[in-house]
Structure 1
Amino acid sequence: MKKFKIFIFIFLALIIGLGAGGLGGYFYGFKQVYQKNIGSIFAEFPEQKESGDALKFGSYQILENEEFFNKTKNNLIYQKFDFINVNLSEMKLQFYKEGQLAKDYPILSKGREGSWWETPAGLYQVELKEKKHFSSMGRVWMPYSLEFQGNFFIHGETYYPDGTPTTNRYTGGCVRLATADVKDLYSRVKIGTPVLVFDKKFEKDNFIYQFKKPEISPKNYLVIDLKNNSEILEKNSEEKVSIASITKLVTALVASEYINLSKEITITDKMLVETSIKRLEKNKKYSAFELLHPLLLESSNEAAVALSYFLGPSRFVQLMNLKAKAVGMENSFFVDPAGLGPENISTSKDLGMLARYLYYNRSFILDITRGKLYDSFFNNEFKGKLENLNHFADNPEFKGGKIGFTNAAGKTMLSIFEININGQTRPIAIIVLGSEDEINDTQKILTWLEKTF
């Protein structure tokens, strides 16, 4: 009878855990979980007001705006939240207890800017606590690890399996503290505690554009300064249209943030879909990072599908849509990772948001699109064999982009250039959708910019 009572107690405990937090409640077991309604944190988010959707944790580009970041932080304080505040610009981490600053910690290192392991701004939550976590990507031990999204952790000073400490210069996208500091933080936080990450990227300036429009063919287009968000040219920039393989830039984003890019993917029949240039072989293994190269250089549908199978195609597409919302692409929707379906839609304005996020947060993706190879991850078998279908790759002003074509979308292109305008180097995104000749239209815009400014 006594054993039966113990069994009933354990069974009920599991049921309560599952009811409170789904499978997450089951895996967390009897660990302390921070439970407070976060629905009002983003009360000031304009996209949140308009969409009416439930708040999702993730990377929010708008949090790179210092004014908005401070509003969000003050909202957390006002509502007396426990939360972790990570200021990457000041290299400082703070823990707030019920809205009151409880502890300051200096940040030793973060992900290197411009790399695939750059730490993104956003509002996250502590998803996992481990006193000793082994990073399969870096092959190092990370003491007192607090996972807050995918591959990103707050942790102590790392060391190799033989006990040798690593350098403190950069991390794989994580936030590294002194081990004594993170041990103290670890003891204070619970699973579910919000993590607010800020890294200042944007600033207002007085740069003003004055111009006469060029004659070009796209049904929808946008030319925008990514630094100050000035729209230089636009036509039907808020109309939702099919975008074809520009979709693959979002595919690359999700892969880089949710997949350990050193992991290998074995190619199966389901992954060998129709594509312009066939590169992948059945039963062969490729690292996720390696697959980014045919994805972005040759617009490989095979690579897109293969990457999606690592997480499961349905889950991967779900993450693409969540990522789009987090970046600010409120009028975009994706149904597959290759951009083949006509239901993969966006607007020129949304793609301007995507361009800005890539330029300031995931520039390594843009680097690949213009032909830069990362030898430490790249299989020599592909080296020198891939074609770059991005026409402007040889232009020194070209910082990256993506072309696309389907019958539904027509010819599409997203390109980012650093252009000297009135004595200043400006990051300019050119988005053309539904074009008769995307290369010629983009070149006309470049010529027009040079003559006009």
Structure 2
Amino acid sequence: MLKLHLFFIVFLFAGLVPLIAHAKRAAHKPASKPPVLARAAIVVDLTSGRTLYAKHADQRMPIASLTKLLTAMVVLDSKRSLLKPARITDADVDRLKYSRSRLPVGSLLLRRTMLHIALMSSENRAAFALSRDYPGGRAGFVRAMNHTAKRLHMNRSHLVDPTGLSPRNVSTARDLTKLARAAYRYPTIREYATSQHQLVLGGAGPLVYRNTDPLVYNAAWRVGLQKTGFTNEAGHCLIVIAPVHGRPTLFVILAAPNAHAHFQDAVNLRSWLLKRAAHHR
């Protein structure tokens, strides 16, 4: 009887050993897919150009204020002086969404300040004013935006305004990797998009604008470029470039369902990449 018990224990233990080993391997193995709440997302290694993750990356959808990266490129490509002042007028008031602005009509700001707060804080009136203060006016500016998008081979993208307030500003996550890669080459865009705050004079009084992206305040991320966006149609959107194991990595997240989901998706994707890299070492 004792021998039978010993045989049973040995048999049971022999069966458990591979199960325990498998459980340990599973615990250390990164998840095959990270949890991503956004409707569409893509992650690209900018050095190799390799796509590391994709979810509905070719689905066309509104992009909200991610538009402003393209707006900034058109402003800078015009070669007009950023030290020239420009005024907020009634033509810059949002009458589509009636979004709030901290810049009252009549505010006089340097064009560089307008570009700064348009990128850092998604200030819509600043973006509207920059587009109006362009050869050919706002219509000419939008034509230049679409021309630039075509030049970047953003073949599934179309723009109708410089802010992204219109749901007719559409693109795909994959197209937006082309925009982000191009915008990343502009030192001014990188500087303004990643600064944490900016004091603005020229409105009703001194205003402190802050970055809309909490990731820029996290030293571990070392954000090199970012832009947030939100409208009801677009959901919560994010573009961010940050190093992962020393390699510049681009995250594009579209149509996240709530005010924290796009940032959490980025955190989850970055953690997944770090774990995956550690697993393959």
Spell out the pairing of 1:224-373 with structure 2 (5 A cutoff). Answer: 224-258=44-78, 259-273=80-94, 274-276=98-100, 278-311=101-134, 312-359=137-184, 361-371=185-195
RMSD: 2.1
SS in structure 2 opposite 1:433?
strand
Alignment-mate amino acid for residue 346 of structure 1: S
> 1:405 Cα shift?
1.1
Superposed CA deviations along residues 225-267 of structure 1, whole A, max 9, x for unmatched, are: 1121100000111121111110111111111111322221122
- 1:448 to 1:383, Cα distance in 2 relative to 1, 3 A: farther
Alignment-mate amino acid for residue 271 of structure 1: D
> 1:211 Cα shift?
8.0
Match of 1:217 in 2: 37
Spell out the pairing of 1:11-410 with structure 2 (5 A cutoff). Answer: 212-258=32-78, 259-273=80-94, 274-276=98-100, 278-311=101-134, 312-359=137-184, 361-371=185-195, 385-396=208-219, 397-410=222-235
TM-score scaled by structure 2?
0.78
- 1:306 to 1:298, Cα distance in 2 relative to 1, 3 A: same
Tell me the distance in 2 between the aligned counterparts of 1:372 and 1:265.
23
Tell me the distance in 1 between the aligned counterparts of 2:270 and 2:190.
19
Alignment-mate amino acid for residue 33 of structure 2: K
> 1:344 Cα shift?
0.4
Alignment-mate amino acid for residue 430 of structure 1: F
- 1:386 to 1:373, Cα distance in 2 relative to 1, 3 A: closer
- 1:275 to 1:371, Cα distance in 2 relative to 1, 3 A: farther
CA contact (8 A) 2:177 2:252 kept: yes
Superposed CA deviations along residues 370-412 of structure 1, whole A, max 9, x for unmatched, are: 11679xxx86669871121012111232112111111111111
> 1:368 Cα shift?
1.1
**Unmatched 5+ stretches in structure 1:** 1-209
| Structure 1 residue 427 corresponds to structure 2 residue 263 | no
CA contact (8 A) 1:411 1:433 kept: yes
Match of 1:100 in 2: none
Structure with the bigger RCO (C-alpha within 8 Å, sep 6+) is 2
SS in structure 2 opposite 1:228?
coil
Task: Tell which deviates more after alignment, 279-288 or 439-448.
Answer: 279-288
CA contact (8 A) 2:200 2:208 kept: no
Aligned-residue identity in percent: 31
Alignment-mate amino acid for residue 333 of structure 1: H
CA contact (8 A) 1:264 1:288 kept: yes
Task: Tell which deviates more after alignment, 338-347 or 378-387.
Answer: 378-387
Structure 1 residue runs of 4 or more that deviate by more than 6 Å after TM superposition: 381-384
CA contact (8 A) 2:196 2:211 kept: no
SS in structure 2 opposite 1:369?
helix
Alignment-mate amino acid for residue 164 of structure 2: G
- 1:387 to 1:447, Cα distance in 2 relative to 1, 3 A: same
- 1:372 to 1:339, Cα distance in 2 relative to 1, 3 A: same
CA contact (8 A) 1:317 1:334 kept: yes
**How many pairs align?**
235
> 1:416 Cα shift?
0.6
Tell me the distance in 1 between the aligned counterparts of 2:197 and 2:215.
17
Tell me the distance in 2 between the aligned counterparts of 1:223 and 1:366.
19
Q: Which has the higher strand share?
A: 1
Match of 1:447 in 2: 271
Match of 2:7 in 1: none
- 1:427 to 1:384, Cα distance in 2 relative to 1, 3 A: farther
- 1:290 to 1:331, Cα distance in 2 relative to 1, 3 A: same
